Amino acid sequence: MTNSKDFKRVEDSQVTISELMLPNRANFNGKIHGGYVLSLLDQIAFACASKHSGTYCVTASVDTVDFLAPIEVGELLTMRASVNYVGRSSMVIGIRVETENIQTGEMKHCNSSYFTMVAKDKDGKSISVPGLILDNDHDIRRFTKSIKRNKMKKRRVDEFQETDFVSENYLHLLEDYKVKIDR
């Protein structure tokens, strides 16, 4: 029999943060610097994972960061983070970034990201996290998409760890690219 502390609902760990985008966060093009947004993404992923696990968490990987639209100075940035998937000690945190022009009310979806976080004990060892209660189709879809993303990630890692790589076997892949081979 499972204890109610063994599982948590998605909404129990959700975190939302908002911040007005100030000029000191702009890059040379006058848009909000992507590195600053990445820093905020890491912070909210930590908060969401720690809230779910009840312990300290570290970033294991940043699986996807899709910058979809520039963020302007003066916009109100809002990030929403949810636990999309749990393993034994890991969690995939999905983060949606939107901005609002506070003068016009126009909303923009600017970024979607997936961070894999791992729960740690005081000695730095990975520890078990609560399971996830999926109580609607949206949560089920996000969990199953995370499973698919994890499988694709494993295939990619396996492919790049090939020890029998022979460049001549892959030269045909370069035909459509702006590359010159000069050996």
pTM across the whole model = 0.87
* pLDDT tens sequence across 36-87: 999 999 999 999 999 999 999 999 999 889 999 999 999 999 999 999 999 9
The single-letter code of the amino acid at 59 is T
Q: What is the mean pLDDT of residues 139-168?
A: 86
1 has pLDDT over 50: no
Stretch 166-176: mean pLDDT, rounded? 78
pLDDT tens digit string along 106-134? Answer: 999 999 999 999 999 999 999 999 999 99
Residue partners of 86: CB distance under 8 A and separation at least 6 = 52, 92, 129, 130, 131, 132
pLDDT in tens, 3-28: 457 999 999 999 999 999 999 999 99
Measured between alpha carbons, how far is 71 from 101 in angstroms, rounded to an integer? 10
Give the chain's domains with CATH numbers.
4-174 (3.10.129.10)
pLDDT score at 7: 96
22-55: burial string, b at 16+ Cβ within 10 Å, e else: eeebbeeeeebbeebbeebbbebbbbbbbbbbee
